[in-house]
Amino acid sequence: MNIDDHLFFCAPSRLIIREGARHDLPALLAKLGYHNGILVTDHYFAEHTPWVNEYVQAARQCGINTFVYSGGEPDPSTTLCDQATRQILAQTKGQTPDHVIALGGGSNMDLAKALTLTLRSNKPVACYKDGIGEDEPLPFIAMPTTSGTASEVTPGAILIDPDNATKIALMDNRLRPFIALVDPAFTYTCPPRVTADAGIDALIHAIESYVTMDSKQFERNNNPDPGYSGRTHLSQMFARESMILCARHLRQAYQNGADTQARIGMSYASVFAGLSYGSAGLNAVHGIAYSIAGLTHETHGRTNAVILPYVLYELRDARAQELKDIAAIFGATESGQDTILQLAQKLQTLVSELGIPNNLKDFGIKESDLPRLYTDAMDVTRLRNAFPVPDTSASYLRIIANAWAGDFSDTPNAVLQQAQENLVAYE
């Protein structure tokens, strides 16, 4: 272990991973004394799977009344959250529930986390964009149907503000689920594209948190209860296990969704990655991916995937040993710096095999878009500041230039050089 670790680790008070585990939830909640719940999901799960009705009936037999809200949407907005709050409180006649359950992917989790605040306070969710203050969220139970976001073990929720198309992050350790129930059977019918998007996201969470800023250097801003606090021996332990599982099972889960062992393996991989990044935090991959999403409106997993190999190549000096560790997991056979280049190329290939473009040009981004991409990425300061390099500005230029060309070089192109000059002038 690293005796210099400044360890601050939060996890769900109950983490359950088992095929069929969903059937045990009603009895567990009854034992814990809960009686009135809200189940947040979307139309697909409510109308095209038996899971919602099965749960509601089983919970009723245990003395738990459950109201189902099935209006979940991809990339939920603040408007949706406020509408859902009013609808739920109207239909429950103003009775505040004593727990909130989410069933679905990351979007349903984000909406449900926000509702744990607004259903109790009846405030617009935008009131929490700068922190939740003393408002206590309702107890939250998460049941993920994808293997990727790991929202079931993390402290944040992301909503879109439709007034200015920006993202609002709700971030507090009290938003972590107190029960994370991971039933791999929920993922067995997950379509290939969603499997790929979620699976590569899990791998990126593991890799990015493995190479992020050390806990002793991480800026916590004197927060006694930080959501993210830098990498530690413990976070890296979870990250390594996740990477091993992803290397073994991700391709197979994508290519053959009926392979239950691959599905179960990816369920564990996602949770372990979440336990790593949910403590350590992330950096440049996600920081630049947010800007890519703003230009392309592509999904979160795909925008992360396209930039991943180039971020890792940029870390070849700052995180040489860690990248060699990762390269060994993925079967790289070269030695020295060639090992890291081979790792970057292997990940390029993996991204392509998952049906995702592996360069920005093929992703539909024009060369004229690069200055805006660079500027927007640099504006994501929380993630930029966690990138462990001496000069993030120069690093971001090289990463974006390489990602657009689909190659690995040390010299940004003229467009990016001009973007840097413009940003300096702007600042």
Q: Are 327 and 342 in contact (CB under 8 A)?
A: yes
Distance in angstroms (rounded) separating the CA atoms of residues 427 and 424: 5
**25, 196, 343 from 253: Cα distances, Å:** 26, 8, 21
- Bridge partner list, 140: 100
Distance in angstroms (rounded) separating the CA atoms of residues 64 and 181: 18
pTM listed for this prediction: 0.94
Distance in angstroms (rounded) separating the CA atoms of residues 404 and 373: 11
- Bridge partner list, 69: 40
> CATH code for 192-425?
1.20.1090.10
Structure tokens at 125: 């969710």
- Bridge partner list, 158: 169
Distance in angstroms (rounded) separating the CA atoms of residues 267 and 253: 10
Sheet of strand 14-17: strand arrangement: 14-17, 179-182, 140-144, 99-104, 36-40, 65-69
Instruction: Output the tens digit of pLDDT for each of the chain's 427 residues.
Output: 677 889 999 999 999 999 999 999 999 999 999 999 999 999 999 999 999 999 999 999 999 999 999 999 998 999 999 999 999 999 998 888 999 999 999 999 999 999 999 999 999 999 998 999 999 999 999 999 999 999 999 999 999 888 876 778 899 999 999 999 999 999 999 999 999 999 999 999 999 999 999 999 999 988 999 999 999 999 999 999 999 999 999 999 999 999 999 999 999 999 999 999 999 999 999 999 999 998 998 999 999 999 999 999 999 999 999 999 999 999 988 777 799 999 999 999 999 999 999 999 999 999 999 999 999 999 999 999 999 999 999 999 999 999 999 999 877 777 777 766 665 554 4
> Where along the chain do its domains lie?
14-187, 192-425
Domain 192-425 in the same topology as domain 14-187: no
Phi, psi of 123 (to 5 degrees): -100, 155
Tell me if residue 309 falls in helix, strand or coil.
Answer: helix
Instruction: Return the CATH number of 14-187, one of 3.50.30.10, 3.30.1330.20, 1.10.10.350, 3.40.50.1970.
Output: 3.40.50.1970
Going by C-alpha positions, the residue among 166, 163, 162, 171 that lies closest to residue 130 is: 171
